[in-house]
A and B are shown apart, each in its own frame.
Chain A
Amino acid sequence: MNDTTTTEQEPTPPPAEEVEQPSEAHSLLYRIAAGDALAGVLAVFLAFLVGSVMIAATDETVRETAGYIAARPSDFFQAVWDAVSGAYAAMFRGAIYNTRVDDFQTAIRPLTETLKYAAPLILAGLGVGVGFRAALFNIGGRGQMLLAGAAAGWVGFALDLPAVIHLPLAILAGLIAGGLWGGIAGLLKARTGAHEVIVTIMLNYVAYYLVLYALSRDFLLQAPGSNNPQSLPMKQSAILPKVLGDRYNLHLGIILALVAVAAVWWLLNRSALGYRIRAVGGNPHAARAAGINVGRTYTTVFFIAGALVGLAGVNQVLGTVTSGVTTDLDAGIGFDAITVALLGRSRPLGILFAGLLFGGFKAGGFTMQTSENISVDLVLVVQSLIVLFLAAPPLVRAIFRLPNKEVA
């Protein structure tokens, strides 16, 4: 027989006909999560491209020159170039290296800011990404961050301990609080079949009001003698130390994030638990038939996810904003984390890079606004466009005329 030419790829109709997926949302999630790196890079590229159009369209000079484009088109294109390159150059100066100062130590400061913003995005992104690997959609990042931040913050301002104990204890408290809060969603899904998207969204509200309540009671979190919903500032012994000296804001959170990346990589790729998580995510029916307790896996995944997202909350309270716990401590990170996880294809390394990119957006966005007078909202638009292009692989493929990957 013609063994030599026979490969595993026998001509078959598109797999969609044969492979029965548990649900459409599930398979969409999996497709995005499992998409290749190229798709991510292209999505980012396209988003920047569309962003350029917006910068140009909203620029005064561009509009002026457009009025006499037929007479002097070179003016128009010069204006477009100036606007777009100016904006992205400003973003570069704000996110990586400030070319306008001579002193290296000052010039490199934006990079440390990027890293500072990236740390919680990476941590929370890992939390969402681990969920994706089990085909679970964790939208509860905000709630998990709030509870974790509140728990870590309480340990941080209320207890008096030497730093070697105080800081780890505060981190641990946040980790566990986030994990338990996430675990609730997992448990509800495992026991009652409640959909995790609904549950985590609702738990965000519960967490918000819970923390708000605690911040209005001085026997809980509120600073004594204050009317503001804010706690006391963190004690010095519980604050994440600066890693590059006092000159920069960069604190230990980034190291925490890097350790978490390595730990999650090991968990997913080298541990039996991670194997089971991926099995459940890939095909819960087959996992169950192979003796894997799917419900328990869901609960475990949500605990791990909540703990990781919780670390992002810890990072904020003990590192970035040490002036005390507030209900704003999540700073939108819980939701940005979803984008980060998607762009990182739920792979730890991918999330690391996606987190760095988004950290850069945050740091650079401000400079773009102050120096080029372009709204920070543009950054949000670019971020959203990235998700849009990631979620519509056929669109990206069509634009770049890539072969249809799903079938091949």
Chain B
Amino acid sequence: MRLVLRDITKRFGSVVANDRISLTVEPGEIHCLLGENGAGKSTLMNVLYGLYHADEGEIEIDGEVRRFVGPGDAMAAGIGMVHQHFMLIPVFTVAENVMLGNESTTGPLGRLDLESARERVTEISERFGFHVNPDALVEDLPVGVQQRVEIIKALSRDAELLVFDEPTAVLTPQETDELMGIMRQLKESGKAIVFITHKLREVREVADRITVIRLGKVVGEAEPTATNAELASMMVGRPVELVVDKGEGSFGDDALVVDNLRVIDQTGHVHVDGLSFTIRAGEVLAVAGVQGNGQTELTEALMGLQDHVTGSIKLNGKELVGRSTRKVLDADVGFIPEDRQVDGLVGEFTIAENLMLNRSFEMPFVRHGGLRIGTLREFAEDKLAEYDVRARDIDTLAGNLSGGNQQKVVVARELSRDLDLLVAAQPTRGVDVGSIEFIHKQIVATRDAGVPVLLVSTELDEVVALADRIMVLYRGRIVGIVPADTPREKLGLMMTGERPKDVVA
């Protein structure tokens, strides 16, 4: 299928999300759509998939102009979408999920024709070497396999063009490699592929053509041979430093000592299972692992946000287990939560108000129960400049900021106190390249100031760039704690739970 998008423009109120974007995707090619978060990639694809209607421009498929009123039309036209968040029903089998929305029935009573769906799954699975059992329950499958179910779903509807929307965000490095293989295979069988991402390495690995989008506009095309730095500067619009400039650390005594930490949820499920580790003053301990292996619960236990915690967390000799979140914060612990929208910011608050979120009890922003608005505003003005938050002013609502600027507000708030420990969970998730660079510098500066840092990240690049030591978690347990220069392959292997022979837990 040959797809041509011509001058697609999509506005949301006064915001132009797509500004006359034109794009051609040929059959048998992997076309990468590269851009920062909020650049308008997903909006464009939602227009293509019939979820939004373009204000201007047209969609042409094999030389014919089409209008899609809903995803049904797009699917019928041979467009398949693999969403970032899977659209699967966990308690259904693979075959049931694949037939969903396209159920064929037999007999007068309309019995579900599950058999043909199973055959279809098996057939597609064999053709592309997916190794998917049609009778497995989706909830029992690893994330990478669930993603293949999504792909099968699209293929079973005879999709000729597949859109992958940030498909690697949830995958392990190994699963990512496998996905790349699958994409190449699909391409060889003549499918057209649109691959949306902001990860440069992946782009250069599989793309045949690259279109870079910034602020809703196509800023240019690039060859897969372009360097990371070239691609990054196209994305951001200025030269970007991709390597974190981090000197030798000077480590002090053990500052954070965690001993046999266990976190259990209300249903009795063990999320963190007997973790013991230490972080020295001035050291970054990076926690690597695929999402959902206990990292969230570990950071929440540190912050007093989990209810059933046993074991011990000692910060400079003081026990943190059993303290309320407020008491933990009072012990000078800074916390960058993994999801700023949920745990980091109040969207309806202004930037200034958000900057005092964890200091609403005492000085400097509160005296005798009243807010000291002047002090807060002055502080906010300073931080806005210091942390390079791009906003009209300090009265801008946090919810109206881009992801990167929101994160800078969180980082500014947490780092503007005297810290004894920094807990940074996914500090650059969904953040544009320019802001990533800035936030990384801040974390390194914190470490260089002698503060112990616990960094949690599912991005191996980030872990490797910032860590002094790396702790790999799998199913709530430590697979191993290894030096920062451990090869990626080895780390990737450890993230699947396998412990190399030379690694001691």
Contact = CB atoms under 8 A, between A and B. Distances in A.
Contacts of A279: 346, 349, 353, 357, 360
A293 interface: yes
Nearest to B335: A289
A11 B373 contact: no
Nearest to B388: A3
Given A6-B390, A30-B348, A279-B349, A11 B357 contact: no
B38 A289 contact: no
A11 B17 contact: yes
A289 B341 CA distance: 12
Interface residues of B, number: 60
Interface string B248-275: 0000000000000000000000000000
A87 B360 CA distance: 52
B152 to A, nearest CB: 25
A273 interface: yes
B344 A289 contact: yes
A14 B42 CA distance: 11
A23 to B, nearest CB: 13
Given A282-B349, A408-B12, A408-B14, A9 B400 contact: yes
A290 B354 CA distance: 10
Contact of B305 (A15, A278, A288): A288
Given A286-B344, A291-B324, A407-B15, A11 B358 contact: no
Contacts of A34: 348
B458 interface: no
A18 B329 CA distance: 28
A10 B38 contact: yes
A270 B358 contact: no
A275 B348 CA distance: 12
A296 to B, nearest CB: 10
A408 B324 contact: no
B390 A19 contact: no
B99 interface: no
B358 A290 contact: yes
Contact of B215 (A11, A15, A407): A11
A226 interface: no
B349 A278 contact: yes
A403 to B, nearest CB: 5
A293 B15 contact: no
B177 to A, nearest CB: 29
Interface in B311-339: 324-330, 335, 337, 339
A7 interface: yes
A1 B240 CA distance: 11
Given A12-B38, A275-B360, A286 B399 contact: no
A20 interface: yes
Contacts of B237: 1-2
B247 interface: no
Interface in A1-46: 1-3, 6-15, 18-20, 30, 34
Nearest to A269: B371
Contacts, number: 145
A289 B301 CA distance: 11
B42 A272 contact: no
Contacts of B18: 11
Contacts of A13: 12, 17, 42-43, 46
Nearest to A406: B13
A292 B347 CA distance: 17
A11 B12 contact: yes
Nearest to B52: A13
A106 interface: no
B15 A282 contact: no
Contacts of B305: 288-289
A403 B173 CA distance: 45
B342 interface: yes
A150 B226 CA distance: 79
B402 A12 contact: yes
A283 interface: yes
A405 interface: yes
Contact of B326 (A1, A291, A404): A291
A174 B482 CA distance: 66
Most chain A CB within 10 A, of B18, B324, B369, is at B369
Interface string B7-49: 0000011111110000000000000000000111011001000
A19 B15 contact: no
A277 B244 CA distance: 40
Contacts of A6: 390
B326 A292 contact: yes
A279 B355 CA distance: 12
Nearest to B14: A408
Contacts of A407: 12-13, 15
A289 B370 contact: no
B422 interface: no
Given A272-B371, A407-B13, 7 more contacts: A1-B236, A12-B38, A13-B17, A14-B12, A278-B353, A288-B325, A289-B337
26 contacts: A1-B237, A7-B391, A7-B392, A8-B390, A8-B401, A11-B43, A12-B38, A13-B12, A15-B399, A20-B342, A30-B348, A270-B371, A272-B371, A275-B356, A276-B360, A278-B353, A282-B346, A283-B342, A283-B345, A285-B342, A286-B345, A286-B346, A287-B357, A290-B325, A291-B327, A291-B328
Interface of B: 12-18, 38-40, 42-43, 46, 215-216, 236-238, 303, 305, 324-330, 335, 337, 339, 341-349, 353, 356-358, 360-361, 365-366, 369-371, 373, 390-392, 396, 399-402, 405
Name the 8 nearest CB pairs between A and B, nearest first. Answer: A408-B13, A291-B326, A282-B346, A290-B358, A11-B17, A1-B238, A407-B12, A8-B391
